[in-house]
Amino acid sequence: MLTAPYTYAVIEWANLVAFTLLALVIIVIPGPSVLYSVGRALAWGKRAAIISVLGNAAGVGIQILAVALGLGALVIAIPPLFFGLKLGGAIIILLLALQAVVSRKSHTRVDSVRSQPRHSRLFVESIGVGITNAKTIVFFVATMPAFVTPNGISVVWQMLLLGLIFTIIGITSDSIWALGAGFARDWFAQSPTRLVAVRTGGGVALGGLGLYMLYDALVP
């Protein structure tokens, strides 16, 4: 039985629309996730970038599950755990930046299969990036409870639904940015010298993101 005119089975339509609009504003404005996707596209190409986007989304999905189960608030409430999460994310990004720069001159033919790390490696690395994104877990903990319908079904399922909406928008936005950067890379890659420069640029972009995350972790 519906308990409100804007209720549909699990959650009020008004809450769904409001959260979707909020997610759009947060995601569409370029942030760390976009910079990560663009950096991977410039360093390794479109296919690697899309795999990275999906891996990052899987990591964020794990965050969403943790928040829905109440673990997200626990991590934020324990300073050493939250610091470790932020520091771990910065270190992962910096290592990926170093990898991109160090290997920038290897296999410069754009279509070479060997020119990219293994897909499984890209995916696992990106899951780590998604899990350790401290800003998204803070966003979920701070906003999701406000959009839950008290008289709806389980709060956990409502939060998972909201998280699914966020993830779909995030994958769409990051993929657009990644593909755009990947197409630009393909043009530059017609010259091996330009490809090296583009790969270096991708590494530098990731490095800048990593340094920002490191600063955010170390400076209150």
Highest mean pLDDT, choosing among 5-14, 44-53, 97-106, 163-172: 163-172
Position 71 scores a pLDDT of: 86
Do the Cβ atoms of 23 and 163 come closer than 8 Å? no
Confidence of residue 64 (pLDDT cuts 50, 70, 90): very high
Average the pLDDT over each of 50-59, 115-124, 136-145, 163-172 and give the range with the smallest value: 115-124
The C-alpha torsion from 56 through 18 and 140 to 215, rounded to 10°, is 70
The C-alpha torsion from 95 through 98 and 54 to 17, rounded to 10°, is 80
Sequence ranges of the domains in the chain: 46-218
